[in-house]
Structure 1
Amino acid sequence: MRYEAHLRARALERPQHAALVCAGQRISYAALADIAERFASALVAGAGFGNGERCVLFLDNRAETAAGLFGTLRAGGMFSVINPTTKADKLAYVLNNCEASVLVTQASLLPVARAAAAQAPSVRHVVVVDAAGELAGHEVPWDEFIAAPSILDPASRGIDIDLAMLVYTSGSTGEPKGVMMTHKNIEHAATSITTYLRMSPDDVVLSVLPLAFDYGLYQLLMCVKLGATLVLEKSFAFPQKILPLLESERITGFPLVPTMAALIVQLRNFRPEWAASVKFLTNTAAALPPAHIARLRELFPQARVYSMYGMTESKRCTWLPPEELDRRPDSVGIAIPFTEAWVAGEDGKPLPPGAVGELVVRGGHVMQGYWRNPEATDKALKPGRYPWEKVLHTGDLFRMDADGFLYFVGRKDDIIKSRGEKVSPKEVENVLYALPGVREAAVVGVPDPVLGRALKAILAVEDGASIAPRDVIAHCAARLEDFMVPRLIEFRDALPKTNTGKIRRAALQAEAEGRELPGEDA
């Protein structure tokens, strides 16, 4: 089935049940389905949106984002949710790369959206939520856009092997890659995850994770699949505002990343009643320190704690059964239900327990490839054990113990995982080189118990240049998403180089990790 059918089915089964609690509003399944249906109809009838076209949602966590993505699917298209801290040039790259027909944004982001849309000739309509003031000719207020009742035929506009979404993730070349996921891919991943989490239609999930982050996006997709309720907040910047929602909304599921866990375990006034209804906590991005796991279990005594590993290209790869936490606190577990995963050598074949190799993943959750990037696709998707399939080579190094449990070792490529997001060092370095006075630049990931990797910029500056760390951070913050801004800055006279003059980033990364790197990188 196509994934938007879940929303339509839940609207029939439990029309008045809350689908979303967001910005002080309680939105029922019937109301959310109605908004999505009217948005879909407007796309088709008003914007000439055809099957397979792309709609980019450049929005905060809000009800319109949820309605927009389900409406796009209902219209036969594919959506892409973009982080609201994205700058105009990168947004323009995404719009051009996927040749988006429609861009949905909000008034507070309109200057960035306009600048990006001006560079993207494929964009025919810009729909603006909370529109105020004068709009340009191809811009239209959200309320006006969806005002008319739906005129769509009840039948689905496509089938389950159609592409449903593009999730843009950092690439080693510095340009984002669009991960292609079909309706069937989403269904497989959501079914597997809700199975091991033991989720039900009665669950109430609190998410502060961006919908542009696939971990956050799947909280919505999984809740709608089951008919559960999602309490959607914009961030965890103020824990004292968010945590009382656990009690007032009777939250049963609370997805975390390590930065959130660190804030929670350090609170001195955590109230037991906040945790009383919570049945499960999930964590991904980086492994939680054992001390944090122990403290979370004290604070949430009724909750199952799940440690997981995943990547955008397959959504989720592994999960650790909660009963294994004490015995294997540093493991990310076993393959998620209905999939397979193994540690492979260079030939792709399984290695014996204890050996370090690349994690390979097999299952219906594996992406179709990278949008219009066959070279990158061929590196990630390779022939499997059967002639009809391709399997995902994750680019991450793992080992497996004698009982089949997996342990993350490190990455094979330059990509740095920080705060749960993939960061391309090259993309950050390109921005650093645009700062007057920077002669050489390299970005590495410094091991961090909370972030997984903290971004560090190592710079050599021109003679006579006067650059302070705060100048570097401010320069990057104006041009990059928040999670890509280095927080650690180091200045050197020169950076190490190969015989051909290339900066030895691999050597700097090894240095940051306190290990030696034999020989020189090419």
Structure 2
Amino acid sequence: MTDVCTEVPTVADLLDRAAGRHGPRPAVRDGSGTWTWAELSRAAHTAAGHLRARGVVPGERVLSVLPPGRAFVALLFGAARVGASLVPAGAAVSSYELSWLLTDSAPVLMVAPDTYDRTAQAPVPVLPETELLGPLPPAAAPGTDGTGPAPDDEALLLYTSGSTGRPKGIVCPHRAVVFAARAVAERLDYRPEDVVWNRLPMSFDYGLYQVFLCALAGAQVVFPEGEMSAGELVAVRAAGATVVPLVPTLGALLSRVAVRDRRPTAVRMFTNTGAALVGADAERLRTAFPGASLVCMYGMSECKRITIADPDEDLGHPGTVGRALPGTRVFVVDDHGRPVPPGTVGQIVSAGPHVMAGYWQAPEATAQRFAAAPDGVGRAVFTGDQGRLDEDGRLYFVGRDDDVFKRRGWRMSTQELETAMLDVPGVRQAAAVRPGPDGLLTVWAVTGRTEREVLRGVAGRLGPAKTPDRCVVVDALPLTANGKVDKAVLRESLGTGR
């Protein structure tokens, strides 16, 4: 792979490169229109000018609650051009989540849709969407002062759930972001004529990086309007989508609808991450879209992506999530951090230039997750996930040992659920465990409220996708001899045994 830090050292340079090579080609489409790469570049310069006019300087953070679309992409590259770090939250963020992001990331500005109620919660200045893209103040010049980021400066602060009660911010330097995007692009091989149907949120790195992948290829990214529905396949066909990044819920919906609607689409490739698409689910997708390949992947936001399989490689090697990205290494280690032989299950470790800088204001968590690589070369991410390698370096994901899990494409933790439940008025104690054998996510609450009221409260704080399937109201939670909640008893009640 080319030395990405020399050719494209920062996120802003990704757009400059795309505009120079693919200027007249369509770049980003949403419900209100389409921009070419040249038009996107001009919009990003305008966004940068407005950020500067608001006093944003290199090293500061800007929080976005914009929905996926053209304005968000202009802000993404505009912030990079200024040298500011973007904290993507999304328009659907709850006040509960937003309060934490504002407190923890300490942004100097928030960019929001025009409909945002700025009287509700705005401890920092709010820049409306139309102003972000509107005429610049007379004294403002769009990106002509020469300031900007260095490759090791922070480009993004991405929040991810972990073993603590609140999401942690992953510090993502330009150098690591660009390297990861280039490595993924080399493996996936997007084409200039591709149309990428991006249903994923911008706070999810899998969705966010689709913009970077399209910039590298000169392809077009499409942000569909509205919620996912039975009309998804019709919209995919009408858009001329050729690449669909999906989580299993979207794959299941498209497969189900395609059974009734056999008209051909232009889709040539599905990529999958967030949760494994295997077995019957993968078979149904392939049956519904016989001309499309399926690419299985594995990764985590702390290093973006760890492995990517060749198209349909899982057919010949069932369960594989592919090999390490170009320029990176993947290990499976024992409890002492020593690599184990092929075929042996252990913790998955990823090392290389794609490893991010650590967690914001969380030195203990950073030390636990980020450490020296098993081969002694550079830093690595110790994922906490279990897997095995075969003789040819293919990785097979096995599972997790802790209480962090993937559900509906979201990485979340039992502690995050418990923290949100305890924020619901009337909930005195709360407990959660990983989904049981039936796939259902269950929580327990000591409260005078009903099960439905508790779940409604969690949905209001974390959103529908992270809301448990059921809540069990109890008089008291089982405790260990040390006075801690006995989760083994709770798991046994679900039949998990762990």
Quick check: 1:257–1:283 contact (8 Å CA) kept in 2? yes
Kept after mapping to 2: 8 A contact 1:110/1:128: no
Q: Quick one: structure 1 residues 278 and 488, their matched pair in 2 at CA, closer, same or farther if it must change by over 3 Å?
A: same
User: Residue deviations 1:294-351, cap 9 Å, x none?
Assistant: 2222222222201111111111111222342223332222222221111111221211
Asked if residue 344 in structure 1 is aligned to residue 333 in structure 2, the reply is yes
The alignment status of 1:10 with 2:18, answered yes or no, reads yes
Residue 502 of structure 1 pairs with residue 492 of structure 2: no
2:55: which partner in 1? 48
Note closer, same or farther for the CA distance 1:347–1:50 as it changes in structure 2 (3 Å cut). Answer: same
Query: How far is the alpha carbon of 1:429 from its aligned partner?
Result: 1.4
2:267 alignment counterpart: 278
Which residue is 1:171 aligned to? 162
Letter in structure 1 aligned against 2:233: L
**Residue 354 (str. 1) matches residue 343 (str. 2):** yes
What is the 5 A alignment of 1:191-340? 191-234=182-225, 237-240=228-231, 242-267=232-257, 270-275=260-265, 277-340=266-329
**2:133 aligned with 1:158, yes or no?**
no
Change (3 A) 1:379 1:49: same
Aligned match of 1:60: 67
d(CA) in 1 for partners of 2:11, 2:221: 17
CA contact (8 A) 2:405 2:434 kept: yes
Match of 2:381, SS state, is strand
Q: CA–CA distance in 2 between the matches of 1:144 and 1:26?
A: 17
Q: What amino acid does structure 2 have at the position aligned with 1:23?
A: G
Distance 1:264 1:48, change over 3 A: same
Deviation per CA, 1:332-384: give whole Å up to 9, x if none: 22222221111111221211233322110011111110112111111111112
Q: C-alpha displacement at 1:387, in angstroms?
A: 5.3
**Aligned match of 1:127:** 127
Counterpart contact for 1:469–1:489, Cα < 8 Å: yes
1:135 aligns with none
CA distance in 2, matches of 1:53, 1:24: 30
SS in 2 for 1:161: coil
- Aligned position for 1:458: 444
Distance 1:365 1:265 in 2: 33
Q: After the TM superposition, which of the residue ranges 205-214 and 486-495 deviates more from structure 2?
A: 486-495
Deviation at 1:35, TM superposition (A): 1.2
Moved more, 222-231 or 141-150: 141-150
Say if 2:308 and 2:325, in contact at 8 Å, map to a contact too: yes
Gaps of 5+ in 2: 1-8
Aligned: 1:94 with 2:101: yes
Residue identity opposite 2:257 in structure 1? L
Structure 1 range deviating more: 379-388 or 249-258? 379-388
Say if 2:418 is the partner of 1:429. Answer: yes
How far apart in 1 are the matches of 2:397 and 2:489? 21
Question: Does the 8 Å CA contact 2:80/2:149 hold for their aligned counterparts?
Answer: no
In structure 2, the residue corresponding to 1:325 is in which secondary structure?
Answer: helix
User: Can you list the C-alpha shifts for 1:481-507, whole angstroms capped at 9, x where unaligned?
Assistant: 333221222234543221021102355
Cα deviations across residues 412-448 of structure 1 (Å, max 9, x unaligned)?
3222321222223223213323445544321122157
**In structure 2, do the counterparts of structure 1 residues 389 and 165 end up closer, same or farther at CA, with 3 Å as the change threshold?**
same
CA distance in 1, matches of 2:311, 2:17: 32
Query: TM-score, normalised to structure 2's length?
Result: 0.91
Asked whether the equivalents of residues 352 and 378 of structure 2 are also in contact (C-alpha less than 8 Å), the reply is no
**In 1, Cα distance between equivalents of 2:258 and 2:234:** 15
Of 289-298 and 322-331, more deviation after overlay is shown by 322-331
- Match of residue 122 from structure 2: 117
Shift in Å, 1:218: 0.8
Instruction: Work out whether residues 89 and 116 of structure 1, in 8 Å CA contact, stay in contact via their aligned partners in 2.
Output: no
Q: Residue type matched to 1:11 in 2?
A: A
Q: Does 1:379 align with 2:368?
A: yes
Compared CA separation, residues 471 and 147, structure 1 to 2 (3 A):
same
Shift of 1:405: 2.7
User: How far apart in 2 are the matches of 1:3 and 1:257?
Assistant: 26
Residue 456 of structure 2 corresponds to 474
Distance 2:425 2:153 in 1: 46
The answer for the alignment partner of 1:138 in structure 2 is none
- 1:136 counterpart residue number: none
RMSD: 2.4
Shift of 1:269: 5.1
> Take 1:260 and 1:8, find their aligned partners in 2: how far apart are those partners?
33
Q: Is the 8 A contact 1:398 1:410 kept in 2?
A: yes
Structure 1 CA distance for aligned equivalents of residues 435 and 303 of structure 2: 26
Give the TM-score normalised by structure 1.
Answer: 0.87
Distance in 2 of aligned mates of 1:510 and 1:357:
25
Distance in 1 between the 2:477 and 2:385 partners?
27
Do 2:230 and 2:257's aligned partners in 1 also have CA atoms closer than 8 Å? no
Deviation at 1:194, TM superposition (A): 1.3
1:422–1:235 CA distance, 2 compared to 1 (3 A): farther
Which ranges of structure 1 fall in alignment gaps of 5 or more residues? Answer: 131-140, 518-522
* Structure 1 position 100, deviation (Å): 0.7
Letter of the structure 1 residue corresponding to residue 396 of structure 2: Y
**Is residue 2:352 matched to residue 1:363?**
yes
Whole-angstrom distance in 2 between the partners of 1:190 and 1:506: 41
Question: 3-state DSSP class of the match of 1:267?
Answer: helix
Give percent identity, aligned residues only: 34
Query: Match of 1:456, as an amino acid?
Result: T
Conserved? CA contact 1:243–1:274, under 8 Å: no
Partner residue, 1:32: 40
Structure 2: which amino acid aligns with 1:376? Answer: A
How far 1:3 sits from its partner (Å)? 1.5
Task: Note closer, same or farther for the CA distance 1:206–1:435 as it changes in structure 2 (3 Å cut).
Answer: closer
| 3-state SS, counterpart of residue 433 of structure 2 | strand
Distance 1:92 1:145 in 2: 31
SS of residue paired to 1:56: strand
Q: 1:151 to 1:70 in 2, by over 3 A?
A: closer
Give the whole-Å Cα distance in 1 for the aligned partners of 2:83 and 2:456. Answer: 41
Q: Distance in 1 between matches of 2:436 and 2:137?
A: 51
**1:58-93: CA deviation from partner (whole Å, max 9, x where unpaired):** 111121111011100001111111032222243232
- The match for 2:4 is none
Q: Which amino acid aligns with 1:244?
A: V
Residue in structure 1 matching 2:79, options 69, 72, 82? 72
Q: Is the 8 A contact 1:244 1:274 kept in 2?
A: no
